[in-house]
């Protein structure tokens, strides 16, 4: 890993702007399962089309929320790990312009990332599709616990939907356009913990390459861009990013340390 880490550190130092694109793999060290790992992924025991599709939400909100209530429990109390903190530190050092994430867990915001695009939304709030009223996670939890049928409801009586992109829904246009613009402007996009198979986000590295930028990849499994990446690092994302910080002469933060609150987080 040593030469590749040094190579990535050199690219980060030389390129500007630099953008990070993160997927589920960056949150696995925080105790959050990814989606597709055999036997352990989130979809290993359930059909996502039955529990995480917009039609499933509309057809059977009770079944939908029986799954998402468990999802809330899975995310409860989870903290940013050293990989999240490393990206926030790179941003504070002026070496990283923004983080684009496919994750809904909110850990980048907790870690202190300021320029954050959550292209799949965030579990931090839920929305009423009838009146567009939004409720923070704590309020949604309370309404979920107090409803006899296990469905958190808006004051107007309509079931709330987590403010995340479900199967069958389009990504938020503003977030996607901003992510595309960042990818097109980037001299380097670092793809971390993502299989780069879920579109349209998987098109972002292609946009960077098409305009003369470079792609670096840090993830365990294979991706369609491995052969075109300037740097490809496998293994643990925490070890890789902490090693990159060290190569840049930056001391990493420990996960137990409080992270600076985000000044802005855009979904």
At residue 48 the predicted structure's pLDDT band, cuts being 50, 70 and 90, is: low
Same domain, 13 and 73: no
- Do 133 and 224 lie in one domain? The reply is no
Q: How confident is the model at residue 263 (pLDDT cuts 50, 70, 90)?
A: very low
pLDDT in tens, 231-262: 999 989 999 999 999 999 998 777 754 444 44
Do residue 25 and residue 42 come from a single domain?
no
Residues 6+ apart with CB under 8 A from 31: 78
> Domain check: are 108 and 25 in the same one?
yes
**Domain end marker among 132, 164, 196:** 164
Using a pLDDT cut of 90, give the percent of the chain over it: 70
Range 150-166 average pLDDT: 94
- Backbone φ and ψ of 217, nearest 5°: -130, 130
Residues 225 and 158 in one domain: no
pLDDT digits (tens, 9 = 90+) for 61-106: 998 998 888 777 777 778 999 999 999 999 999 999 999 999 999 9
Confidence check: pLDDT of 45 > 70: no
Residue where a domain terminates, one of 102, 134, 164: 164
For residue range 6-32, what is the model confidence (pLDDT) as tens digits? 999 999 999 999 999 999 999 999 988
Residue 72: per-residue pLDDT: 74
Give me the pLDDT at residue 1, please.
63
Domain boundary among 164, 190, 223: 164
Whether 13 is catalytic: no
Do 110 and 181 lie in one domain? The reply is yes
Compare 61 and 33 and report the one with higher pLDDT.
61
Report the pLDDT averaged over residues 39-64. 73
Residues 6+ apart with CB under 8 A from 172: 119, 121, 165, 267
Confidence at residue 137, expressed as pLDDT on a 0 to 100 scale: 87
Tell me: the pLDDT tens digits for 170-191?
A: 888 999 999 999 999 999 999 9
Q: Tell whether 223 and 113 lie within a shared domain.
A: yes
Banded pLDDT at 167 (limits 50, 70, 90): confident
Inform me whether the pLDDT recorded for 219 exceeds 50: yes
pTM: 0.86
Three-class secondary structure assignment of the chain: CHHHHHHHHHHHHHCCCEEEEECHHHCHHHCCCCCCCCCCCCCCCCCHHHHCEHHHHHHCHHHHHHHHHHHHHHHCCCCCCHHHHHHHHHHHCCCCCEEEECCCCCHHHHHCCCCEEECCEEEEEEEECCCCCEEEHHHHHHHHHHCCCCCCECCCCCEEEEEECCECCCCCHHHHHHHHHHHHHCCEEEEECCCCCCCCHHHHHHHHHHCCCEEEEECCCCCCCHHHCCEEECCCHHHHHHHHHHHCCCCCCCCCCCCCCCCCCEC
Peptide bond just before 200 cis, omega within 30 deg: yes
Whether the CB-CB separation of 70 and 63 falls below 8 Å is answered with: no
Whichever domain contains 141, its CATH number is 3.30.1600.10
Residue 19 sits in the same domain as residue 151: no
265: pLDDT strictly greater than 70 = no
Residue for token pair 């098409």: 210
Total domain count, the chain: 2
In the set 53, 84, 108, 120, the catalytic residue is 120
> Which residues span the domain enclosing 64?
34-77+124-164
Instruction: Tell whether 137 and 150 lie within a shared domain.
Output: yes
Q: Indicate whether 140 and 225 sit together in one domain.
A: no
Q: What is the CATH number of the domain that holds 181?
A: 3.40.50.1220
Q: What is the mean predicted confidence (pLDDT) over 34-41?
A: 51
- Domain check: are 84 and 181 in the same one? yes
Answer yes or no: do 160 and 250 share one domain. no
Q: What is the mean pLDDT of residues 217-223?
A: 93
Please report how the helices 82-92 and 237-247 are oriented relative to each other, as an axis angle in degrees rounded to 10.
Answer: 30
């Amino acid at each position: 890993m040593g030469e590749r880490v040094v190579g990535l550190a050199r690219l980060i130092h030389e390129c500007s702007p630099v953008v990070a694109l993160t997927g589920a793999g960056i949150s696995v060290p925080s105790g959050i399962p990814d989606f597709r790992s055999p036997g352990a992924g989130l979809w290993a025991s359930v059909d996502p089309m039955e529990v995480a599709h917009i039609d499933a939400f509309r057809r059977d909100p009770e079944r939908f929320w029986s799954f998402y209530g468990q999802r809330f429990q899975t995310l409860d109390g989870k903290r940013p790990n050293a990989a999240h903190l490393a990206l926030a530190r790179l941003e504070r050092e002026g070496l990283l312009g923004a983080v684009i994430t496919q994750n809904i867990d909110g850990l980048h915001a907790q870690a202190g990332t300021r320029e954050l695009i959550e292209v799949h939304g965030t579990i931090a709030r839920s929305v009423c599709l009838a009146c567009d009223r939004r409720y923070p996670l704590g309020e949604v939890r309370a309404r979920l616990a107090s409803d006899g049928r296990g469905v958190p409801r808006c004051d107007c009586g309509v079931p709330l939907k987590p403010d995340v992109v479900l199967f069958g829904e389009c990504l938020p246009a503003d977030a996607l356009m901003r992510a595309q613009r960042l990818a097109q402007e980037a001299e380097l996009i670092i793809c971390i913990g993502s299989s780069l198979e879920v579109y349209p986000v998987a098109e972002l590295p292609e946009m960077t390459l098409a305009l003369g930028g470079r792609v670096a990849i840090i993830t365990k499994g294979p991706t369609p861009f491995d052969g075109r990446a300037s740097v490809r690092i496998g293994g643990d994302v925490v070890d890789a990013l902490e090693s990159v910080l060290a190569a840049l002469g930056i001391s990493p933060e420990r996960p137990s340390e409080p992270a600076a609150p985000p000044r802005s987080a855009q979904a």
